[in-house]
Amino acid sequence: MTKTTRIDARFAALKKEKRPALITFITAGDPDPETSKAILGGLADAGADVIELGMPFSDPMADGPAIQASSQRALKGGQTMVKTLQMVRDFRAKDAATPIVLMGYYNPIYVYGNGRFIADAKAAGVDGLIVVDVPPEADEELCLPALRAGLNFIRLATPTTDKARLPAVLSNTSGFVYYVSITGITGAAAPEVNDVQKHVGAIKSATPLPVVVGFGVKSGEQARALGQTADGVVVGSALVSRIEKSLGAKGEATSKTTKDVLELVKELSSALRAY
């Protein structure tokens, strides 16, 4: 893969600005298609540099209760892969610069069809994929075809990724490396900055790719501390929790839903720009 992607361009621009990226995660279709579209459309203006859009799945094993619940809300509301890709198309009609990464699990992609998915994702304006349950040993299945199509394929490294395993994780990875700052599920605990710094340093010594940190980041203060070590900070569970807390008695979106999520994004962005 030799062509510069939106992800490559965004991280190059941020390097010149000498600040880390704010990477935001929401689940497509949560809490309903229209509200989700409104949130997605407002993320970049609120300060998101890269957007991870979750592909809803009935059994998101690596995710904590907040993101699990977001997938359930989205699926209950009728979200499908076709609708998720349409969300990206609609976003691209208004924003040609902000990178979008589809994140999730292999099952919905497999059901959709690998070749069809890669072609449709590329055509919709997707820039990269994070598929948490496809290991490097299965690169021929999805990773390599995605790379050939011009999509970045982003892998996760964890606190248990040792020196022997790291080369396999980095092989065929592009765009950036996502360091999972805690062991366990998303949103379960706060990352320990000193531990993160050590692991991020080890990854950086093995790859020229940007290294971003996610899992457990809930506040601007945490994001700022981690951003002094990493090239970007991912916030997901905290945003999804904002959605959940804003819902009405029957689980419906309210006038606060979009506003509350984007206010948190603004807070996080301000913290990462205040170096």
d(CA 190, CA 16): 29
Provide Rg for the chain, Cα atoms. 17
- Give a yes or no: residue 275 inside a domain: no
Which domain, by its residues, includes 114?
6-269
- Among 238, 214, 223, 230, which residue's Cα sits nearest to residue 268? 223
- Give a yes or no: residue 274 inside a domain: no
**Per-residue model confidence as pLDDT tens for the chain (275 residues):** 558 899 999 999 999 999 999 999 999 999 999 999 999 999 999 999 999 999 999 987 777 888 999 999 999 999 999 999 999 999 999 999 999 999 999 999 999 999 999 999 999 999 999 999 999 999 999 999 999 999 999 999 998 898 999 999 999 999 999 999 865 444 445 557 778 888 999 999 999 999 999 987 888 888 898 898 899 999 999 999 999 999 999 999 999 999 999 999 999 999 999 76
The CATH number of whichever domain residue 15 belongs to comes to 3.20.20.70
- Give a yes or no: residue 202 inside a domain: yes
Catalytic residues: 52, 63
Domain count across the chain: 1
Going by the DSSP 8-state scheme, the letter that residue 235 receives in this structure is E
Task: Kindly provide the residue ranges of all beta strands, DSSP E only, lying in the chain, ordered along the sequence.
Answer: 21-27, 50-54, 100-104, 128-131, 152-153, 156-157, 177-180, 211-214, 232-235
pTM recorded for the entire structure: 0.94
- Give a yes or no: residue 33 inside a domain: yes
Cα 213 from chain centre: 11
Contacts of 116 (CB under 8 A, 6+ apart): none
